[in-house]
Amino acid sequence: MAAFIGIDLGTTFSAIATIDDTGRPTIIHNEDGENITPSCVVGTSSDVMEVGEFARRQWGNAPETAAARFKRDMGSSEKYPINGQDFSPTQLSSFVLKKLAAFAANSVGEVGEAVVTIPANFAHEARDATMEAAKMAGLNIKYIINEPTAAALFYAFKSGEELGGVYAVYDLGGGTFDVSIIRVDGHDVEVLAANGIHKLGGDDFDSALQELVRSKFKEATGGDLESDDFTKNEAEEEKKALSKRKNVTCRVARQMIDVSRTEFEELISTYITQAEMLCEATIDEAGITTSDINGVFLAGGSTRIPLVNESVTKVFGQEPVSTVNVDEVVALGAALYAAYKGDHSQLSTVQKNAIQKIKVSESAGKCFGTISIGHNTARDQAELSNSILIRKGEKIPCSVTESFYTVYEGQEAVSCKVTESTSAETDPRFVKIIHDGELVLPPGRPAQQEVKVTFAYDDNQIMKCSFVDVDTGRETVVDLSMASSDGETSSEIDKFLVE
Ligand SMILES: Nc1ncnc2c1ncn2[C@@H]1O[C@H](COP(=O)(O)OP(=O)(O)OP(=O)(O)O)[C@@H](O)[C@H]1O
Ligand SMILES: [Mg+2]
């Protein structure tokens, strides 16, 4: 039987998990026996890419040969050079996924359906790019799941049947911050509200600490540090030490630089405040108050920072529930989700019994709409406006159809725009256009002809939109999911050997 796997494709570290014979989610170790693998890629020759700890060290020592933190640019046109050759975040992610899948193949034999996790606030193209990367890596992937939802699923599973009511998930990793308010009933997880900050995480704390040490060095010696004198990796090590100790001494270019936990906390305090504000907004959005929250679950390595713990306690009015493996809970939850969504005939009876109580329902993380010409009665003029078809918070999967009408006689085409926004914004200037197409109409049409617009949002929070000219039945279908375009892509990374 093929094993179901869940992969947490993290900004700094990735993890892979499966469901063991007893139906429990378990982490699959990497070749070094570690539970998490650095999401770093190094080119050791023109066609060999190494992923993991060696790549992480190379990224610190010889950054031009390696790439890291590319998850932050998933779905963008940003390129990362490795030895002069450009790679997209999608390609780099697929190297990491391919490597993780190899650990799984070594450990569980046949790798079956896989689920990869993404931050809750990932935009449409970043979701798509993640699916694409998984396909390029040769994974059998049908679903992606939001990281905090996966974490919640794991916590709910672990605690057995006991959970009931509203909970919060606070996920602060290496690159992103996510907060979700969920309703849990036994193994049944429903997302009420979710928000995130795309570029807020441990990586920013490393940069801030690196800067502090550099400026302290300058103060002490009058000189500047060389770029390889106090690398990001070294800063990260000192940061982790500060979670345990009140002071650290960094040895930098034969100089001793002291940093106290208090100084570090000051450095990151604006980030923590931003996270606090987002937690408050998310609590509001869920229509609850902190007294309704029965528990707060932590995920992400950065929640080990004592100040983060204090901040969570303050915002939610209670001590969070944590586990030693905050950097594994997302992958473990993803493995559960893979089994839950997958073909149950691949499960043993014991596994089936463990999984069958699970239920997960997600809601739309953003608003989706289309731009049409409406009549502004106040100013008595035609005006472009954004109409929301799918609202943030709507249960998914869902499908919404609305009618729009052509404006003038002889109109030759209808513009088919798809917009994405974080709130129900009507002003087209403040929304992101994620698709801009056209539906051509036959000649000689009178005005006020109906065009039906349908937005269908699937389990992966990926959208399909159709614009139908009702009279002729002509249709423009926008499949905003590249994931359904099979084939070809895998060869793109197949020419590289991933080690
Ligand atoms: N003891 C610690 N103290 C402070 N930070 C820590 C500690 N342990 C791990 N971290 C930080 O946690 C981050 C990694 O956490 P995790 O693996 O959950 O993130 P990720 O999955 O890579 O990122 P994301 O989920 O944002 O994409 C790194 O920035 C790491 O330095
Ligand atoms: Mg993570």
Domain ranges of the chain: 3-200+269-363, 202-268, 367-480
Ligand number nearest to the C-alpha of 39: 1
Give, in order, the Cα–Cα distances in Å from 220 to each of 214, 235, 258: 10, 18, 11
CB under 5 Å of ion ligand 2: residues: 10, 173
Give, in order, the Cα–Cα distances in Å from 321 to each of 193, 291, 313, 436: 19, 16, 10, 45
The Cα–Cα gap between 164 and 158 comes to 13
Give the residues across from 3 on adjacent strands: 111
| Average pLDDT over every residue of 186-194 | 82
- If one residue of 9, 13, 34, 232 were mutated to test the ligand 1 pocket, choosing by the most ligand atoms within 8 A of its CB, it would be 13
Give, in order, the Cα–Cα distances in Å from 43 to each of 68, 105, 135: 12, 23, 21
Ligand number nearest to the C-alpha of 302: 1
Distance 443 CA to ligand 2 centre (A): 53
Amino acid code (one letter) for 29: H
Comparing CA positions, the residue from 432, 444, 353, 352 lying closest to residue 406 is 444
Distance 302 CA to ligand 1 centre (A): 5
Among protein residues, the one with the nearest Cα to ligand 1's atom 9 is 301
> Domain 202-268, what fold?
Actin; Chain A, domain 4 (3.90.640)
Position 162 pLDDT exceeds 80: no
Give the residues across from 359 on adjacent strands: 188
Torsional sign, CA 118, 121, 127, 130 = negative
Per-residue model confidence as pLDDT tens digits over 253-278: 889 999 999 999 999 999 999 999 99
Atom of ligand 1 lying closest to residue 172 CA: 26
Structure tokens at 146: 């939001």
pLDDT given for residue 462 in this prediction:
78
Structurally, at CATH architecture level, domain 3-200+269-363 sits in 2-Layer Sandwich (3.30)
Computed over every residue of the chain, the mean pLDDT equals 90
Atom of ligand 1 lying closest to residue 203 CA: 29
98-99-105 Cα angle (round to 5): 85
The Cα–Cα gap between 456 and 418 comes to 12
Distance 60 CA to ligand 1 centre (A): 17
Confidence of residue 292 (pLDDT cuts 50, 70, 90): very high
Confidence of residue 490 (pLDDT cuts 50, 70, 90): low
**Residues with Cβ within 8 Å of residue 494, at least 6 apart in sequence:** none
Ligand number nearest to the C-alpha of 10: 1
The Cα–Cα gap between 29 and 102 comes to 11
Strands 359-363 and 395-396 turn out to be antiparallel
Position 478 pLDDT exceeds 60: yes
pLDDT given for residue 468 in this prediction:
93
Instruction: Return the residue matching tokens 């992958």.
Output: 331
- What are φ and ψ of residue 275, in 5° steps? -65, -40
The Cα–Cα gap between 192 and 259 comes to 41
Give the residues across from 38 on adjacent strands: 13
Distance 431 CA to ligand 2 centre (A): 28
Atom of ligand 1 lying closest to residue 236 CA: 31
Is the distance from CB of 202 to CB of 208 less than 8 angstroms?
no
Distance 254 CA to ligand 2 centre (A): 35
pLDDT given for residue 95 in this prediction:
97
Distance 135 CA to ligand 2 centre (A): 20
pLDDT given for residue 161 in this prediction:
67
pLDDT given for residue 8 in this prediction:
98
Q: Is the peptide bond between 81 and the residue preceding it cis, with omega within 30 degrees of 0?
A: no
The Cα–Cα gap between 341 and 338 comes to 5
Distance 387 CA to ligand 2 centre (A): 34
- What are φ and ψ of residue 318, in 5° steps? -165, 155
Ligand number nearest to the C-alpha of 261: 1
Give, in order, the Cα–Cα distances in Å from 312 to each of 215, 289, 306, 319: 30, 15, 10, 7
pLDDT given for residue 491 in this prediction:
62
Per-residue model confidence as pLDDT tens digits over 325-367: 899 999 999 999 999 988 888 888 888 888 877 878 778 888 9
Distance 358 CA to ligand 2 centre (A): 22
- Ligand 1 binding residues, C-beta < 6 A: 8, 10-13, 36, 71, 147, 173-176, 201-203, 236, 239-240, 243, 300-302, 304-305, 327
The Cα–Cα gap between 240 and 224 comes to 25
> Domain 367-480, what fold?
Substrate Binding Domain Of DNAk; Chain A, domain 1 (2.60.34)
The Cα–Cα gap between 196 and 126 comes to 14
Atom of ligand 1 lying closest to residue 300 CA: 18
Q: For the chain, how long is the longest CA-to-CA vector? A: 81
Ligand number nearest to the C-alpha of 69: 1
Structure tokens at 453: 């617009």
**pTM here?**
0.87
**Residues with Cβ within 8 Å of residue 387, at least 6 apart in sequence:** 369, 370, 371, 372, 374, 402, 404, 426
Among protein residues, the one with the nearest Cα to ligand 1's atom 1 is 240
Is the distance from CB of 401 to CB of 488 less than 8 angstroms?
no
Distance 470 CA to ligand 1 centre (A): 52
Among protein residues, the one with the nearest Cα to ligand 1's atom 18 is 300
Among protein residues, the one with the nearest Cα to ligand 1's atom 5 is 302
